[in-house]
Amino acid sequence: MNDFQLCPKFEKGMKMLGKRWTGLIINQLLLGPQRFSHIKAELPISGKLLTERLKEMEEEELVTRKVYAEVPVRVEYELTEKGKALKPVMKEISKWAEEWVELTEEN
């Protein structure tokens, strides 16, 4: 019998960060506040999926959405302190990937 019990917070965190594109969006926003169109231009992601991920990240309080009352309306996304706290995690994943991940023709 296995006495291992998965920590619910760890599980939720991994599910959140493991969603397709979430990590790459966080990595992009670590560069600073950005407009939707800039994020979309930097990542090969559909507008619909980017909108979905940003909403999920906003609900998890990783990202804030700031609307500027301009014409045309300007919307910027920025990491919250909670989101910025992922910087060392992203840095370590990047170091690990550089050392251990091999690219093939498929990726």
By the 10 Å C-beta count (0-12 exposed, 13-18 middle, 19+ buried), 5 is classed as: exposed
Q: What is the CATH number of the domain that holds 47?
A: 1.10.10.10
For residue 67, the enclosing domain spans: 16-96
Indicate the pTM of the whole model.
0.87
Asked if the structure places residue 31 within a domain, the reply is yes
Spatial distance between the Cα atoms of 73 and 49, rounded to a whole number of angstroms: 21
Asked if the structure places residue 50 within a domain, the reply is yes
Q: Above 60 in pLDDT, residue 15?
A: yes
Q: Above 60 in pLDDT, residue 79?
A: yes
Closest CA to 64 of 49, 40, 83, 80: 80
In this prediction, residue 92 carries a pLDDT of: 96
